[in-house]
Amino acid sequence: MSQATFTSAQTISAGGARAVERCRSLTRPPFSEEQDALTRPYLTPAHQTTCARLADWMEEAGMEVRTDPAGNLIGRYKGTSDAPLLLIGSHIDSVRDGGAFDGPLGIMLGIECIAALAAKGRRLPFAIDVAAFGDEEGSRFPASMLTSRAVAGTLDPAALAITDGDGVTLDAALASVGLATTAFAAAAYAPGSVAAYLEAHIEQGPLLEAEGLALGVVTAIAGQRRITVNVTGVPGHAGTNAMHLRRDALTAAAEAILAIESVARAGKSDLVATVGRMTVMPGATNVVPGRVDFTVDVRSGSDAERDAATGEILAALHAIATSRGVTVVAEETQMLAASPCDPALIDRLAAAVAATGQEPRCLVSGAGHDAMVMAALAPTAMLFIRCTGGISHNPAEDVIEADVEQALAAMLTFIEGLAA
Ligand code: HGY
Ligand code: MN
Ligand code: MN
């Protein structure tokens, strides 16, 4: 990798403070596609520049670095045997106008674990890989977690026939960085080659802060379903279309969105549904909208509840289409099953948290993570770190350096426990 000039992060000694500083140093161009916000979609120049910077940090920590066929950046810290390895990972892509820590913090903590081991000349009886997954958010292409699914070996090749919002195919985006969809599946690790997957991540919720705790141990990750909905009515003149004759796609969508909200509100506490993106066409002030596309994200800790709620939502959409004389087409773009973490690893991580002097706090993750995909390849463990106000997917996302130091200590205890 090119020898980049390091930012101030290099002047900070190794550890949690450096991990935090490095996350903060990646929030603007050339590490973001936006001038005044952090937006780092998969396979964009910002993603590539960020991987180059991460590669320098990984090499500096003592790792050999490679880019895999799915565009993930992976560093390896060799062990003293070829035993199944420990994979530490998180994602380096971001949502639009995201925060500095959602994803990168888990990667930087992985690098700090290796730096701490290398500083002591410590080699373990297994290798440790640190993976920067290129696409967890699905902020560029319709599906998410493409690249961790490639590593886990669970990707259906049909899932690669996708196009981003600007009409760029995944194939063209990969070709722009010298990769190809035909080789994508070669990113898979061999079954049995990974002993455990560990991901450190901000909680992205308020619980740890509310209870005055720095760290949490994840027991399971909520399942998700993503649906794109297309509402087609009849565009018309805003001045001459009588209200009772209209087939307005936007008012139909508005009724649908409130119906989605009420289904979720009626469910158990961890059932959530979100309409996060909507386009209105033709989008002119004096035209009755003829077409509306919007996304639906449904989650629950129970797949059965998630599926029941999805069924109610689809029934509501159908009833609205009939009553308003519009056409509604709903297409599922993703289904991710709820993913329990490994009981033995939960116990091991809880003991590592206790060793930092904090009572372990177990909790379910409402946010999705690459760990839910990696569970197909290896037993998984997730360490949550308090984030200020529980805020995430927001530039105000923030952490406390001491909490990140504490997370690093817990991860190193966890790693030594695996070695023992
Ligand atoms: O959507 C999620 O839960 C994650 O941040 N990608
Ligand atoms: Mn996220
Ligand atoms: Mn994340």
What CATH number is attached to the domain comprising 284?
A: 3.30.70.360
State whether 215 and 121 are in the same domain: yes
State the pLDDT confidence band at 11, using cuts at 50, 70 and 90.
Answer: low
Structural domain ending residue among the three candidates 336, 371, 389: 336
Instruction: Point out the ligand 1 atom lying closest to the alpha carbon of residue 366.
Output: 3
Ligand nearest to the CA of 95: 2
Q: Is the CB of 368 under 6 A from ligand 1?
A: yes
pLDDT tens sequence across 244-274: 999 999 999 999 999 999 999 999 878 999 9
Q: Tell me the backbone φ, ψ of residue 47, rounded to 5 degrees.
A: -65, -45
∠ CA 369-370-375, nearest 5°, is 110
Q: Is the CB of 137 under 6 A from ligand 1?
A: yes
Give CA–CA dist 67/307, Å, rounded. 37
State whether 192 and 121 are in the same domain: yes
pLDDT tens sequence across 93-112: 999 999 999 999 999 999 99
Give the dihedral sign, CA 68/13/26/89.
positive
pLDDT tens sequence across 121-158: 999 999 999 999 999 999 999 888 999 999 999 998 89
Of 409, 356, 389, 336, the C-alpha closest to 203 is 389
Instruction: Point out the ligand 1 atom lying closest to the alpha carbon of residue 393.
Output: 5
Q: Is the CB of 236 under 6 A from ligand 1?
A: no
Q: Is the CB of 135 under 6 A from ligand 1?
A: no
Instruction: Point out the ligand 1 atom lying closest to the alpha carbon of residue 138.
Output: 6
State whether 194 and 266 are in the same domain: no
Nearest CA to ligand 1 atom 4: 368
For residue 301, what pLDDT is reported? 83
Nearest CA to ligand 1 atom 6: 137
State whether 319 and 372 are in the same domain: no
Nearest CA to ligand 1 atom 1: 368
Q: Tell me the backbone φ, ψ of residue 125, rounded to 5 degrees.
A: -75, 15
The pair of three-digit structure tokens given for residue 185, joined into one six-digit string: 């599946």
pLDDT at 7 exceeding the cut of 60: no
pTM to 2 decimal places = 0.86
* Burial 210-249, CB ≥16 within 10 A → b, else e: eeebbbbbbbbbbbbbbbbbbbbbbbbeeeebeeeebbbb
Q: Is the CB of 203 under 6 A from ligand 1?
A: no
pLDDT tens sequence across 160-211: 999 999 999 999 999 999 999 999 999 999 999 999 999 999 999 999 999 9
Of 182, 193, 115, 147, the C-alpha closest to 51 is 147
CATH code of the domain covering residue 351: 3.40.630.10
For residue 411, what pLDDT is reported? 98
Give CA–CA dist 272/140, Å, rounded. 23
∠ CA 85-416-378, nearest 5°, is 30
Of 20, 72, 68, 35, the C-alpha closest to 50 is 72
pLDDT tens sequence across 316-335: 999 999 999 999 999 999 89
Give CA–CA dist 418/420, Å, rounded. 5
Q: Is the CB of 297 under 6 A from ligand 1?
A: no
**pLDDT > 90: percent of the chain:** 93
Give CA–CA dist 49/353, Å, rounded. 34
Q: Is the CB of 68 under 6 A from ligand 1?
A: no
DSSP type of residue 341: P
State whether 131 and 217 are in the same domain: yes
Q: Which domain holds residue 314?
A: 223-336
pLDDT at 10 exceeding the cut of 90: no
Which whole number is the average pLDDT over 226-246? Answer: 97
Residue to probe by mutation, ligand 1, list 40, 97, 137, most atoms within 8 Å of CB: 137
What spacing in Å lies between the alpha carbon of 261 and ligand 2's midpoint?
21
State whether 216 and 262 are in the same domain: no
pLDDT tens sequence across 31-49: 999 999 999 999 999 999 9
Tally of domains within the chain: 2
